[in-house]
Structure 1
Amino acid sequence: FVLMGSYERGLEYYDKALEISERNNYQHNISLSLSNSGVIQNKIGNYDEALNLYQRSLRVSRSLNDPVQTSNCLINIGTNYAEMGEPEKGLDYVQQGMEMKIELGDERTISNCYIHLADIYSKLEEHEKAIELLNRAIPIKEELDEPDGLIRCYLGLGSIAYHQERYREAVRMANMGLEIAREISAIEYIAEGYLIKKEIAVKQGDFRSAYQFEMQHSLYMDSLMDEAIAKASMEIEFRTRSKVLQHENENLKIQSNLDQLLVRKRTMVFHSSLVIVSVLILALILVLYYMRRHRNTSLKLEEKNLVITKQNLKLDQVNKTKDRMMSIIAHDLRGTIGNQLTAVEVLYRIEGDDKVEIDRKRLLGNLKNSASYSLELLENLLHWSRLEEGASNYHPEEVKLNTLVSNCLSLYSESAKNKELVFEKDIKEVITCNSDKIMMETIYRNLISNAIKFSNPGGTITIGLSKLDGKTRFWVTDQGIGMSEEESRKVIQNGGITRRGTANEKGAGMGLALVQEFTKIHNGELIITSETNKGSTFEVIIPCLN
C-alpha cells in the first residue's frame, strides 16, 4: 500500500501489526512496526508524529541490543530533524547511525548516510563538505549498481554548483543525473533535473531555454500526477469491491449466528417437551419431529457456511488479480510508456531545428513498436483478467482462419523487419472453422509474437495452417534460442514463463497462458517441440465442430 501511495491503508496495517506484536510481546516486530509507521508519517509531512514513533522504536531496539535497527532509527531521526528545520540535531543523529553502520560494514547504508549528510550540510550552506560526501558516495553506488543513488548524488552536486554560481558544472551534473534517470524511467528525478536546468538558464539570462526546460518539467510532473491518479482509481475500485464482499460476508455471518440461536432454542424446547410429555407415543412423535427439524436447520447452516467460504475464496482471487495487474502496470507498462515519453521528448526537442540530423523514421518506428507492445500487453491483460474472474465468454462462429493469420502477420511485419526476420507461409488452402474469432486471433497473435521475440536476427519463421479429419492444425516454427525440456514442461503445466527476448524485449508471462486456456476452451491441444539454441515449434490443434 505504501508503494501504491495509499499511506492511510499502510498505517492501518502497520497499526494492526503493532497491536499483534504488543499482545504477543514480539519486541523486534514492535520496533519495526513503529519505525515503518514513522516513515509514512514523515512522507506525509507529520514530522512531530514521525519523530515520536522513531524515538519509541529506538528505545525498543536499544533494549534488544539490535545494532542494525538501532542505527536505522538514528538515521531516520536525523533526517526527520533536518526536515523539521533543525539540521544541527539531524547531523548529530545521522553521524551516530553512520558510525554503527561502519562497524557493521553495511556499504549500501553507509553511502546513503553520505547522501543524507550532504543534504544537511547543503542546508547549513557548508557546500564543500557536502561535495566531499557526495563524491565519496558515487563510487560506492557505482560498485553496488544503484542507479537511484547515483541520480541523487549527481542532482545534489548540480544543485550545490548552482548555488555556488558554477553554472557549467551544475549543467554537467544535472545532465549526468538526467541520463541515468531516463535509462530507468525515473520520472520524478527527470522532473527534478529539468527544474535545476531551468533555474540555471534563468540565472544565465537564457529565458528561451528556461521556458523549454520548464515545459519539460511540467510534462513529467503531469506524468507523475497521471500515474498517481491511476493508482488512486485502482485503489478506490479495489476498496469498493472489497467492501461489497466484506458486507456480504458480514450479513451471512449474522444470519448464521441467528440460525445457531434458533437451533439452541429449539433444542431447549425439545428437551423440555421430553420432561412434560408423559405419553410415550406422543413423546416419540415429538422427538422424531424435532430431530427432523434440527437436521434441516443444520443443513441450512452448512449451506450458508459454504457460501461464506466461496465468498472468501472469491475475495482472495480478486486480491491476487489486483496484485498481478498492479505489478504489470507498475513495471512493464510503465517502462514502455517511459520509452514513448522519451521518444516524444526527442522529437519535440528537434522540431523546427534544421541543424539537428536524426533518423526520424527509425525513431518513429521505435515509438510504434513500443506502442504496439503496450497495446498487446493491455489486450492480453484484459483477456487474462476476464479469465481469472470467470468473465470470459465463448462465442463460436464460422471464421476464415486464413484471414486471421494474414492480419497477425501484417501486424508484426514491422517487428520482424526490424530483426531482419523472414516469414514463410505453409498454407495450401482456404480454411474455415466454427470457433471463437477473438480467442483464435489471440492464440495466433501470441505465438507469432513469441517467435519474433525469441528469434535471432536474420532467421526464418514458418507459419503453417492445415485441416484434416475435422480438425485444424496451426503451427509456428522459429530458429531462435529454444527451450529446455524442463522449461517446456513448465509452460504446459503452469501456462508460461517470463524471460526477455533476443533483443531484450520485455514479456509479462501471460501470452502462453492465454494460448493454453483458449485452446482448452476449444477442446483443443497445445504441443511444444523445442531444443535449446535450435528453435521451437508451437502447434495448436482445434476440432471444428458445429
Structure 2
Amino acid sequence: MLKATSYNQLKWLFSCVLFLPFCLSALAQTTKVEALLKEIKPNQPDTARMRIYRQLTTAYGSVDQDKKYYYAVEYKKIAERLKVDTLVVEAYIDMGGTHAIKTVMDSALFYFSKGYETAKKIKYDRGMARALASMGYVYEKIDNEREAIDKYKEALRLYKKVNYAKGINQCYINIGGIYHDLGEYEVSQTYDLLALESYKKIGHEPGIASALFSLGGGCLELGEFEKAKNYFQQSLEIRERIGDINGIALARWGLARVDIKEERFKEALPNLEIALKHDIELKNTFHESAVLISFARAHLGLKDYKKAKEYAKRAEVNSRIMKSLSMRSKAVWLYTKIEEAQGNYKEAYDYQNDFIELTDSIKAEEKLKHLVLTEFSRVSSENEGLMKDNQIIATKNISYVKTIFITSIILLFVVILLVLYYKRNQEKKATNLLLQRQRDEISEINKELEMLNEELITQMEIIAVQNTELEQLNMVKNKFFSIVSHDLRSPLATLKMLFGLYREGQLNENELNELLAKLEDTIYTTSVFLDNLLEWSKSQLDGIVVNPANFEVGKLINENIQLTETAVRLKGLKIESSIERNTMAFADANMINVVVRNLISNAVKFCNPGDIISIEAYNSNDKMYLTIKDTGPGISEKELQKLFNLEHTITTSASGDKGHQIGLVLCKDMVEQNKGKIKVESELGKGTVFFVEIPEKQM
C-alpha cells in the first residue's frame, strides 16, 4: 500500500511538470480572452460566432471554469442549429471537463457519456476516443482503476485508428501508471516501454525521461536492480541536458533507492543530497519528504541512529504540514525500527502503537473513498435511468404530436360534415347532442386522469420521505460502525502486542505490570465510551421512550459526586456544590442522571491537580438551572464549534485520560428530548462551564 501511494504522488508530480507551461500561460490566455471578446459583434453570422465561442471555451480553460462552461453551452447550441455534429461532441466533452476540474465527477461523467454517444452515432472516432479518455480520467480519480483501464484501452484503440500520437502516448502513460499502482509491475512496464518507443519516434525528450523513470521504478519493485539503475541513469542524463531540476531530483532519488536496496548505504548519500537540495529549491514538500525518508533508511543501515531519527523527524514534520497520513506512517515506522535497533523496546512499543493508529486512520479514509465510490455509482445509475426516462418521454411526446395532428384532421373533417348536414337536412340537432355526449365523456375521463395523477404525486412524495428516512438511518449506522471499528481496534491490538512481547521475553514482569496498569485505564475509558455509544445508538435507531416525572435534583447530583469521589481524591481536585433545597425538575430522571454523570466525569477527567469543580442547581421562572464549572485547561474555539457533533474525535487530558465526544452528543440528545437546552462556554487556560436548563414542572 505504501509503495502504491508514493507512485500515485510521483505521477502527480509528473503532471505538475507537464502542466507548468500551461499555468505560466494563464496571463497570456487572459489577454487572448479579452481579444476574442472584442471580436463578438451584433448580428454576427452563426459560423463566426461559433468559432469565437469555441476559442473562448479553450481560452477560459486556465482562467475561469464557469465561463468555459458557459461558452461551451453557447457554441453547442449554434452547432446543433447548424447541424455541425462533430462540434456538438467537442462541446459536450468541454462541458464535462469543467465539472471534472471542479471534482463534480457525476456531472462530468454525464457530459462525457453524452459526448461519446453523440460521437458514436455520427461515427466520429477521434471524438469517441477523447470522450472515453476523459471518462477514464474520472474513474481513475474516484479509484475505480479497472473501469479506468477499460476506458483508456478503448480510447487507445480509437486513437491508433486515427493515428493521433499525442492521445496514444497519454493513454500508454495513464494505463501504465494504474497498473503500477495495482502492483502489476510487469504489465505496467509493457505500457511504459510502448510510451518510451512512441516518445522516441516524435523526439519528445521530457516524455522519454518520464517513461525511463517509470521503467526504473518498475524494475526496482521487481528486484531487477541493475536494469533499474540503468533506466534511472538514462533519465538523469536527459533531465540534466534539458535543465529539468525537478526531473534531476527524481532521477537522483531513484539511483539512491537502488543503492539502499542493495545495502550500499554510503553510496546512496551523495545522490540523496543533490535530490534534497533541488526539492528544497523547488519547495516540493512531498518529494522532499520522500528523500528524507530514504536518508533515514540509509543512516539506519549505517547504524547512525541519531541522524536517521533526525531525517525521519523532518519527514514527519513535512507530513503534518501536507496532512499526508501515508508519509507520516512511514516516518513513525522508521522511529520503531530505529528504537528496536538500539534495544529501546518500550519506545519502539509506543511508536508501534502510533503506527497502528495511523494505519487505522488510512484504512478509514479508504473506507470513506469506497463509500463515495458506491454513492457515485448509484448516482451514475440514476442518471442513466433518467436519460432512459427522458428518451421514453420524448418518444411519447412524438406519439402525442402525431395523435393530436391526426385528431385535428378528423375534427376538421367532422366540422365539414356538420356544415353539410346543417344545410341538407334536419339531423343537425341529433348530431350536436351526440357530440355533446362525447365531450362530457371526455371531460369525465380527464377528471379521472387528474385524480390518478394526484394519487401518483402523493405516492411519490411518500416514497421520497421514506427514502430520506432510510438515508438518515443508514448514515447513523455508518457513524456507529465507523466509531466502533476505530476505537475498539486500538486497545485490542495493543493488548495483543503486549502479550506477544511478554511471551517472547522482551518484557519482564515489572514492565508488564506497568503497561497493564496503563492498559487498565484505556479499557476503563473504552468501557465508559461503549456505555455512552450504546445509549446514543439506542436513541438514534430504536428511540428512547421519555418518562418524565417530578424529582429532586440535589439527591441525583450528590450520588454522582460520590461516584467520582475516588477519582477526585487521587487527582487532588476539589468539588464544591451549591444546590438549593427542594430544587425540582420535571424530566426522565434516568436520562438526566446520564447527563449529570457524563458532565461531572468529563470535568474530573480533564482537570489538573489542584483545580476546582463547582456545581450549582436552583429553580427560577418554572425552570431548573444546573451549572457545572471547572478551572481546568479549557477548550479551544475550534473544538467548541464541533463539541456536540458526531465527528469521532478523541481528546486527551494532561494526565493522559482520553475522552470520546459521543458522551456530549448523548447529553445533548437527552436534554433536548426532555424539552431542555444545553450549552457550553470555555476559554483556553480559564476553564469550562456547562449550562443545563430543563422544566421545573409539567407545563
Q: C-alpha displacement at 1:478, in angstroms?
A: 1.2
Partner of 1:11 in structure 2?
144
Q: C-alpha displacement at 1:479, in angstroms?
A: 1.4
Is 1:283 paired with 2:421? no
The 3-state SS of whatever aligns with 1:51 is helix
**2:205–2:238 contact (8 Å) kept in structure 1:** no
**2:632–2:686 contact (8 Å) kept in structure 1:** yes
The 3-state SS of whatever aligns with 1:50 is helix
- Structure 1 residues 487, 17: closer, same or farther in 2, change over 3 A? farther
Q: C-alpha displacement at 1:281, in angstroms?
A: 1.2
Q: C-alpha displacement at 1:538, in angstroms?
A: 1.0
Moved more, 391-400 or 187-196: 187-196
The 3-state SS of whatever aligns with 2:143 is helix
- Structure 1 residues 493, 377: closer, same or farther in 2, change over 3 A? closer
Distance 2:502 2:555 in 1: 36
Q: C-alpha displacement at 1:462, in angstroms?
A: 1.9
Is 1:477 paired with 2:613? no
Is 1:395 paired with 2:572? no
Q: Which amino acid aligns with 1:393?
A: G
Q: C-alpha displacement at 1:285, in angstroms?
A: 1.4
Specify which structure has the higher proportion of helix. 2
Is 1:451 paired with 2:606? no
Partner of 1:118 in structure 2?
256
Distance 1:32 1:404 in 2: 71
Question: Is there any run of 5+ residues in structure 2 with no aligned partner, and where?
Answer: 6-139, 160-164, 318-324, 415-430
Give the counterpart of 1:82 among 213, 217, 220: 220
Moved more, 231-240 or 89-98: 231-240
Q: C-alpha displacement at 1:290, in angstroms?
A: 3.2
**Identical aligned pairs, as a percentage?**
21
- Residues 333-384 of structure 1 deviation map (CA, whole Å, 9 limit, x = unaligned): 7666676677767777778837x6x5945x4443233334444555556666
- Structure 1 residues 121, 262: closer, same or farther in 2, change over 3 A? closer
Q: C-alpha displacement at 1:477, in angstroms?
A: 0.2
Q: Which amino acid aligns with 2:613?
A: I
- Structure 1 residues 309, 177: closer, same or farther in 2, change over 3 A? farther
- Structure 1 residues 467, 396: closer, same or farther in 2, change over 3 A? farther
Q: C-alpha displacement at 1:511, in angstroms?
A: 4.9
Question: What is the aligned residue count?
Answer: 504
The 3-state SS of whatever aligns with 1:396 is coil
Report matched runs for 1:209-288 at 5 Å: 275=410, 279-288=434-443
Distance 1:282 1:488 in 2: 74
Partner of 1:164 in structure 2?
none
Q: Point out the structure with max Rg over C-alpha.
A: 2
**1:134–1:153 contact (8 Å) kept in structure 2:** yes
The 3-state SS of whatever aligns with 1:15 is helix
Partner of 1:91 in structure 2?
229
- Structure 1 residues 70, 251: closer, same or farther in 2, change over 3 A? closer
Partner of 2:61 in structure 1?
none
- Structure 1 residues 520, 291: closer, same or farther in 2, change over 3 A? same
**1:72–1:97 contact (8 Å) kept in structure 2:** no
- Residues 190-232 of structure 1 deviation map (CA, whole Å, 9 limit, x = unaligned): 889989999x99xxxxxxx9xx99xx9xx99xx89x969x979
**2:143–2:373 contact (8 Å) kept in structure 1:** no
- Structure 1 residues 115, 46: closer, same or farther in 2, change over 3 A? same
Give the counterpart of 1:296 among 445, 451, 473: 451
Q: C-alpha displacement at 1:394, in angstroms?
A: 2.5
Distance 1:302 1:57 in 2: 56
Q: C-alpha displacement at 1:90, in angstroms?
A: 2.6
The 3-state SS of whatever aligns with 1:475 is strand
**1:134–1:157 contact (8 Å) kept in structure 2:** no
**2:546–2:674 contact (8 Å) kept in structure 1:** no
Q: C-alpha displacement at 1:385, in angstroms?
A: 6.4
Distance 2:639 2:365 in 1: 39
Distance 2:266 2:562 in 1: 60
Moved more, 124-133 or 329-338: 329-338
Partner of 1:518 in structure 2?
670
Q: Which amino acid aligns with 2:454?
A: L
**2:502–2:512 contact (8 Å) kept in structure 1:** no
Distance 1:483 1:194 in 2: 32
Give the counterpart of 2:187 among 39, 49, 58: 49
Question: Is there any run of 5+ residues in structure 1 with no aligned partner, and where?
Answer: 162-168, 202-208
Distance 2:694 2:297 in 1: 58
Distance 1:371 1:28 in 2: 60
**1:332–1:506 contact (8 Å) kept in structure 2:** no
**2:313–2:331 contact (8 Å) kept in structure 1:** no
Partner of 1:368 in structure 2?
520
Distance 1:47 1:507 in 2: 45
Distance 1:255 1:408 in 2: 63
Give the counterpart of 2:695 among 526, 543, 546: 543
Q: Which amino acid aligns with 1:366?
A: K
The 3-state SS of whatever aligns with 2:689 is strand
Distance 1:472 1:529 in 2: 19
Q: C-alpha displacement at 1:542, in angstroms?
A: 1.7
- Structure 1 residues 328, 300: closer, same or farther in 2, change over 3 A? same
Q: C-alpha displacement at 1:537, in angstroms?
A: 1.6
- Residues 364-421 of structure 1 deviation map (CA, whole Å, 9 limit, x = unaligned): 443233334444555556666677xx52512223688668656765776677667543
Q: C-alpha displacement at 1:80, in angstroms?
A: 1.6
The alignment's C-alpha RMSD in Å is: 6.8
**2:266–2:298 contact (8 Å) kept in structure 1:** no
Q: Which amino acid aligns with 1:283?
A: Q
Query: What's the TM-score, normalizing by structure 1?
Result: 0.60
- Structure 1 residues 239, 46: closer, same or farther in 2, change over 3 A? same
Distance 1:413 1:84 in 2: 62
The 3-state SS of whatever aligns with 2:544 is coil
Distance 2:211 2:480 in 1: 34
Q: Which amino acid aligns with 1:524?
A: G
Distance 1:464 1:326 in 2: 37
Q: Which amino acid aligns with 2:189?
A: L
Give the counterpart of 1:534 among 672, 680, 686: 686
Distance 2:236 2:485 in 1: 33
Distance 2:142 2:570 in 1: 46
The 3-state SS of whatever aligns with 1:10 is coil
- Structure 1 residues 352, 497: closer, same or farther in 2, change over 3 A? closer
Report matched runs for 1:122-201 at 5 Å: 122-124=260-262, 126-130=264-268, 153-155=295-297, 157-158=299-300, 160=301, 169=303
The 3-state SS of whatever aligns with 1:45 is coil
Distance 1:341 1:178 in 2: 27
The 3-state SS of whatever aligns with 2:189 is helix
Report matched runs for 1:362-441 at 5 Å: 363-378=515-530, 391=541, 393-397=543-547, 405=557, 420-427=572-579, 435-436=587-588, 439-441=591-593
Q: C-alpha displacement at 1:540, in angstroms?
A: 1.0
**1:181–1:187 contact (8 Å) kept in structure 2:** no
Q: C-alpha displacement at 1:42, in angstroms?
A: 3.0
**2:651–2:660 contact (8 Å) kept in structure 1:** no
Distance 1:379 1:34 in 2: 55
Q: C-alpha displacement at 1:524, in angstroms?
A: 0.6
- Structure 1 residues 302, 436: closer, same or farther in 2, change over 3 A? same
